[in-house]
Structures are given as structure tokens and as C-alpha cells.
């Protein structure tokens, strides 16, 4: 009798991509049990990489916070959409108007910003005021490329949900009748670049995250499997918003790791 | 069968609807600036046998305030002749028992004085300009996401408009931001909603084909009017840009059509254009004053 496993056609798991904000922690609070779960994952023979659309903080900032919360990881294991944006700016030699938080500017040192001929939008509440958005609008209307670090609709803050950069990118796209180039999740290029130095194909990797569309949908669209966790910005019913639905939906990161260790190696 | 060429069109015309910002004046510091020739053009229209109404998506000020501003600039215009989105929206809210969370310019608030705003069950956005802060947009977003049936009204859907110190984002851009954030579609009150144009036609007692809309916005003024069966004229003032996504083919002028002034030509909108659906009549682009010369020449 032939048993068809639901992993048919998949090779053994070689890499796990893990979202940060909302999955391992929410602001300054770690998800309970997440530190131990990460250590258990490292004991198995899989590569681990931390991927994030967080645009408010540079890699150093992120690392410092994660170390404060007792997570074991190195700077080289972090891949952010800011890194992806920088790569694009360097390739095309653009001079950007940077709508990013001050704390993220560190990741753009060395890039020329005078007489901007491109607009880069990240999560920057301080910059999403009428005057600055008008400035960005006029540049794009006159032909400057619009580069979105990502298009998240909203994210979870301590005081509730808050608008992400996505709505402001949508506003500029509508006003200028142009499309933004998106470099972060859920773009395929982002996941491909994250896996590029791990020596594995997408079908040998799984993504764990709290954002159904950007984490799980994006990863599955890139050929990976996706696990949706019910922490962070997750809202009831999110798993029904993507097709195909997540490979697994579970309570939090520790449960996701348990599932991987039991069923996917 | 209505005439589709201009000499015939001009003869059956009974009413004109004028957009205001970008046609009559450019907004900016103080009262703004009247566009040369427009005051005179309005006087000529009023002296003719054509009915005249003004239609605007102005949502930074209540009607009384911006009509007073235009009167100061020298225009012959009355509040009763002006149609704008805020009063239309207030009527819709009362009709449907809705209580709005308002994200509008302070100057517009008086238009909603008679509307119950406690315990909001919908959001209304207008051209809030500097009030479009991250905090205010976030608040509107949270009201919507907390509602079982999120409902967003947008006073217009314009992409941008021109002020004397440059182009600025209009309410439509912020409407799209909230639509994207909440995964919903806004209801638009004002141009180019057919209900809005119809209310103006009803007030004039005219059929659509008897009326002409003149505006600077191809989609919201001309496109919206044409979809109701009215005729449209786009003027090359205000937000009109000669380099844009709307490239319309020129046509050869019939020999008997009178020449317009320098810088004017005729364009024919073909049915394949995505901007205006099923245009029935030719579009004429020119300065408002020169168009009037054509209109009166043919009557």
C-alpha cells in the first residue's frame, strides 16, 4: 500500500526563515518560550535566518534588542528589507529621498542623497506628514522611481494597530499613476536573496511568521512552505485570506518549532 | 438623435456647469488668484440664455466661505448656485442614520453641525491638508477596523490639485491609503459620482445632453460628466498637464469650424480610450474664454 505523505515532492528541510517582530517578540517583550525554541531548532541540522520588513531600525538596533531579550543570534543571520533596498539603490546608482526613521538611516550611510532622483519609503510616521508626502509626490510625478521597502498595511504596537508604509505607498501610486518597486516581503526576490547564501532551494525551506499575506503568502509563492503563528498582528481568520492556505497555523513560534522537529526533518 | 459635431451641440445647449478651482481661479495664499478672463467669461454666461451652476469638490471650507472668497475676487456667484460634496454627504449620512468620525479641514466642520457625531459608525474624509497627519489617519483607520461593517465616505477622489506654490495631494490619495489599509472600497460623494451630477441637473431641470461640464480634471470633471450623458470641455489651466498619461489623438478640423486662438485645438476622444467610457461627443480643449467665443459664434 502506498502512503502519500503531505511532504511528497519536497526534499528534506535545510533552512528555516524566521520573522522577528510579532513572531519572536512584540516590541520589548519576547514571545514566551521563544528563546528555548530557537535553541532547540539550532540543535537540529538546519540553517536559520532572521528576515524582517522592520524598517524603523538598523541591523545593529535589531540585534541589540534581541540580545536584550536573550535570543541567541549573530548580525550576519539577519536579512532586512532595508538591506534589499540598499542593494537596489547601489545597483541603479539612485540618489534617494529617504522616508525612513532616523534610526534606520545607519543602513544607508555612504549613499548620496543630495538632489534626489528616487524616493524610498519605509515605516516613518514622523515623515508621513502632508509637506513631506507632497515633496515625495512631486518627485515621483516628475519621473523619480518609487521604491517601497515593503507595503505592510499595518503592524501591532503596544497601544493597538498602527498604519504601515503600505497605505502611503498606495496613496502615492494612485496620485502619480505609477507603480512602486517593492523590495521587501512578500516579493519573491526578497525570499530568494534571503536563501541565496544558505545553499538551498525554496522547496527545502520553511518560513515562520505572523503576517498571513507578507510572511506566509509571500514565502509559499516563492516555493517555500509557510507556518502562520497567532501572535503579533495576527487576527482571527487571517489564514483564510491567502491561497493556498498556510501549510500550518499554530499558536506561536515554540509550537511551530515543535512541528518542524517532529514532522519536517 | 443629438448632434455630435460642435456647431450642432452649441445650438441644443441649455445649461453649463463650471468647475471652480483650476477653471475660475487658482488657490493659494489668501484668496488665491483669478485666472485671467474667467470673471468676464462668467459674466457673459450669466448674460446669455444658458443656465449656469458651479460644481466643486472644494472641501477645505464651507460654501459660504469660499463663495465669499470668489465674490471678493470679482466673480458674480451665489451660494445657491454652488454644489459641493459636504452638504451632499451630510444629507446622505442623515438619510442612512450614520454617525461620522470626521477627518476634514477645520473650515468644513460647520457643514456637519446638524449631523450626530457621537459614537461614530462610519468615517468621512475630505481634503484635510495639514490635518492629514499620521496620528489623524491612524485614528480614522482604528475607527474603521473596530467597526463590524466598516464604511468610508470620501468627499471626492481627486489625485492632486494645483495651488500657487505647486501641486498637492488631494483627498483621493488619502482615500486610497485607508482603502488599502482596511481592504475596503470607499463611497465617493461629489465629482465624479453620477448621483452628484444628477442633483445639479435636477436643480436646473435639464436632461444630461442639454448640459455641458467645463473642468480642468479629465477624469473627475469631464469623464464623470460624460458618463452621465453630458458633454465635456477640458481647460488647459489649473491641474491640466500637457505631459501626462492621457495622450489623445488630434483630429483634422472641419473646414467650417472657426479657428480658435493661439494654443487651442480640437481633440476627438475615441471609444477605446480607457479614461472616458463611451464618449458620445467630441472633447474640446481650450481656454474658457475662447471656448465661449466659439459657443456664441455658433448660436
Using CA coordinates, name the residue in chain A closest to B181: A153
Q: Is the pLDDT of residue B60 over 80?
A: yes
**Among A126, A167, A177, beta carbon nearest to B177:** A167
Reported CATH class of domain A94-182: alpha beta
CA–CA min distance A232, chain B (Å):
16
Answer yes or no: are the C-beta atoms of B227 and B277 closer than 8 Å. Answer: yes
Give dist(CA A57, CA A53) in Å, integer: 10
Q: Given a cut of 70, is residue B277 above it in pLDDT?
A: no
CATH number of A3-53+186-263: 3.40.50.1000
What confidence score (pLDDT) does residue B8 get? 59
Tell me what the mean pLDDT of segment A96-112 comes to: 92
Residue A168 forms contact with B (CB below 8 Å)? yes
Domain with CATH 3.40.50.1000 in chain B: 8-83+192-297, 85-189
How far away is chain B from the Cα of A170, in angstroms, using its nearest Cα? 6
* pLDDT band per the 50, 70, 90 thresholds, residue B157: very high
Whether residues A168 and B177 touch (CB distance < 8 A) is answered with yes
Whole-number pLDDT of residue B245: 39
Interface contact flag, B169 A138, Cβ < 8 Å = no
What is the third-level CATH fold of B8-83+192-297? Answer: Rossmann fold (3.40.50)
- Give the closest-approach CA distance of A30 to chain B in angstroms: 25
Nearest CA in chain B to A170: B177
Place B10 in a pLDDT band, splitting at 50, 70 and 90: low
Measured between beta carbons, the chain B residues lying within 8 angstroms of A177 are 159, 245
Residues of B in contact with A170 (CB under 8 A): 176-177, 179-180
Average pLDDT over residues B129-147: 97
Pick from A128, A154, A170: CB nearest B176:
A170
Chain B residue numbers with beta carbons less than 8 Å from the beta carbon of A130 are: 129-133, 168-169
Give per-residue pLDDT as tens, B63-111. Answer: 999 899 999 999 999 999 999 999 999 999 999 999 999 999 999 999 9
The residue ranking higher by pLDDT, B39 or B259, is B39
In chain A, list all ranges with CATH 3.40.50.1000.
3-53+186-263, 94-182
DSSP string, chain B: ----SHHHHHHH--EEEEE-BTTTEEB-STT-EEPTTHHHHHHHHHHSSSEEEEE----SS-HHHHHHHHHHHT----GGGEE-HHHHHHHHHHHTT--EEEE--GGGGGGGTTS--SS-SEEEE---GGG--HHHHHHHHHHHHHSSS--EEEE---SEEEETTEEEE-HHHHHHHHHHHHT--PEEESTT-HHHHHHHHHHHT--GGGEEEEES-IIIIIIHHHHTT-EEEE-SSTT--SSSS--PPB-PPPTTSPP--TT-EEE---TT-SSSSS--S-EEES-HHHHHHHHHHH-
Percent of residues, chain B, with pLDDT higher than 90: 51
Q: What is the pLDDT of residue B287?
A: 55
CATH of B85-189 given 1.10.1040.10, 3.40.250.10, 3.40.190.10, 3.40.50.1000: 3.40.50.1000
Cα→Cα distances A138→A26, B131, B244, B271, Å: 36, 19, 13, 31
Residue whose grid cell is 473650515: B107
Mean pLDDT of B157-166: 87
pLDDT computed for residue B165 by the predictor: 83
Query: Residues A109-130: what's their mean pLDDT?
Result: 94
pLDDT for B292:
59
What pLDDT was estimated at residue B274?
29
Residue A60 contacts residue A20 (beta carbons within 8 Å): no
Percentage of residues in chain B with pLDDT exceeding 70?
A: 76
| Tens digit of each residue's pLDDT (9 = 90 or more) over A244-256 | 999 999 999 999 9
Mean pLDDT (chain B) is 80
pLDDT of A13 over the 70 cut: yes
ipTM beyond cut 0.95: no
CA distance A14 to chain B (A): 35
Which residue out of B131, B163, B181 would a mutagenesis test of the A interface target, given it has the greatest number of A Cβ atoms within 10 Å? B181
User: When comparing pLDDT for A84 and B143, which is higher?
Assistant: B143
Arithmetic mean of pLDDT, B177-202: 94
Q: Which residues of A touch B182 (CB under 8 A)?
A: 153
Cβ-Cβ contacts under 8 Å, B177 against chain A: 163, 167-168, 170-171
- Show residues of chain A in contact with B178, CB under 8 Å: 167
pLDDT one-digit tens code per residue, A176-215: 999 999 999 999 989 998 998 898 999 999 999 999 999 9
Average pLDDT over residues B132-144: 98
Rounded to an integer, the average pLDDT of B185-206 is: 93
Residues 118-147 of A with CB under 8 A from B: 125-126, 128-131, 133-134, 137-138, 141
Split at pLDDT 50, 70, 90, the class of B290 is low
Cα of B93 to nearest chain A Cα, Å:
26
Residues in B closer than 8 angstroms to A99, CB to CB, are none
Interface mutation target, options B104, B140, B177, B219, chain A, most CBs of A under 10 Å:
B177
Nearest by CB: A171 against B129, B176, B183: B176
Amino acid at each position: 500500500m502506498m502512503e502519500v505523505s503531505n511532504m511528497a515532492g519536497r526534499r528534506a528541510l535545510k533552512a528555516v526563515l524566521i520573522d522577528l517582530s510579532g513572531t519572536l517578540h512584540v516590541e520589548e517583550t519576547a514571545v514566551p518560550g521563544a528563546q528555548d525554541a530557537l535553541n532547540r531548532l539550532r540543535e537540529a541540522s538546519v540553517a536559520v535566518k532572521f528576515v524582517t520588513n522592520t524598517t524603523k531600525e538598523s541591523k545593529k538596533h535589531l540585534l541589540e534588542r534581541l540580545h536584550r531579550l536573550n535570543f541567541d543570534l549573530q548580525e550576519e543571520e539577519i536579512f532586512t528589507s532595508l538591506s534589499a533596498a540598499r542593494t537596489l539603490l547601489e545597483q541603479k546608482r539612485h540618489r534617494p529621498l529617504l522616508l525612513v526613521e532616523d534610526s534606520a538611516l545607519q543602513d544607508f550611510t555612504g549613499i548620496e542623497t543630495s538632489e534626489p532622483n528616487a524616493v524610498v519609503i519605509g515605516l516613518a510616521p514622523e515623515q508621513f506628514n502632508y509637506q513631506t508626502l507632497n515633496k515625495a509626490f512631486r518627485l515621483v510625478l516628475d519621473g523619480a522611481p518609487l521604491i517601497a521597502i515593503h507595503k505592510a498595511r499595518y503592524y501591532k504596537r503596544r497601544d493597538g494597530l498602527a498604519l504601515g508604509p503600505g497605505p502611503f505607498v498606495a496613496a502615492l501610486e494612485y496620485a502619480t499613476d505609477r507603480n512602486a518597486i517593492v523590495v521587501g516581503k512578500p516579493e519573491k526576490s526578497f525570499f530568494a536573496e534571503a536563501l541565496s547564501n544558505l545553499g538551498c532551494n525554496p522547496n527545502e525551506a520553511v518560513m515562520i511568521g505572523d503576517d498571513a499575506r507578507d510572511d506566509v503568502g509571500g514565502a509559499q509563492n516563492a516555493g517555500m512552505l509557510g507556518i502562520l503563528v497567532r501572535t503579533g498582528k495576527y487576527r482571527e481568520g487571517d489564514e483564510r485570506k491567502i491561497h493556498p492556505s498556510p501549510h500550518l497555523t499554530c499558536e506561536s513560534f515554540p509550537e511551530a518549532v515543535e512541528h518542524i522537529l517532529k514532522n519536517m526533518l | 438623435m443629438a448632434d455630435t459635431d460642435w456647431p450642432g451641440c452649441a445650438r441644443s445647449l441649455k445649461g453649463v456647469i463650471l468647475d471652480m478651482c483650476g477653471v475660475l481661479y487658482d488657490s493659494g495664499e489668501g484668496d488665491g488668484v483669478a485666472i485671467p478672463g474667467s470673471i468676464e467669461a462668467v459674466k457673459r454666461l450669466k448674460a446669455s440664455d444658458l443656465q449656469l451652476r458651479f460644481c466643486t469638490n472644494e472641501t477645505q471650507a464651507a460654501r459660504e466661505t469660499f463663495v465669499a472668497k470668489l465674490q471678493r475676487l470679482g466673480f458674480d456667484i451665489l451660494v445657491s448656485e454652488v454644489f459641493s460634496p459636504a452638504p451632499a454627504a451630510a444629507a446622505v449620512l442623515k438619510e442612512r442614520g450614520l454617525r461620522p468620525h470626521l477627518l476634514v479641514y477645520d473650515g468644513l466642520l460647520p457643514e456637519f453641525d446638524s449631523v450626530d457625531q457621537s459614537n461614530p459608525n462610519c468615517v468621512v474624509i475630505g481634503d484635510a491638508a495639514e490635518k492629514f497627519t499620521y496620528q489623524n489617519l491612524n485614528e480614522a483607520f482604528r475607527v474603521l477596523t473596530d467597526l463590524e461593517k466598516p464604511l468610508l465616505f470620501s468627499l471626492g477622489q481627486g489625485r492632486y490639485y494645483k495651488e500657487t506654490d505647486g501641486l498637492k495631494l488631494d483627498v483621493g490619495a488619502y482615500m486610497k491609503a485607508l482603502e488599502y489599509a482596511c481592504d475596503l472600497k470607499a463611497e465617493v460623494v461629489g465629482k465624479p459620482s453620477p448621483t452628484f451630477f444628477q442633483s445639479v441637473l435636477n436643480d436646473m431641470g435639464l436632461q444630461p445632453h442639454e448640459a455641458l461640464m467645463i473642468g480642468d480634471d479629465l477624469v473627475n470633471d469631464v469623464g464623470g460628466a460624460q458618463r452621465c450623458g453630458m458633454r465635456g470641455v477640458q481647460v488647459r489651466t489649473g491641474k491640466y498637464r500637457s505631459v501626462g498619461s492621457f495622450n489623445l489623438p488630434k483630429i483634422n478640423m472641419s473646414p467650417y469650424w472657426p479657428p480658435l486662438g493661439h494654443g487651442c485645438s480640437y481633440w476627438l476622444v475615441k471609444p477605446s480610450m480607457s479614461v472616458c467610457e463611451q464618449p458620445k461627443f467630441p472633447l474640446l480643449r481650450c481656454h474658457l474664454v475662447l471656448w465661449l467665443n466659439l459657443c456664441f459664434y455658433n448660436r
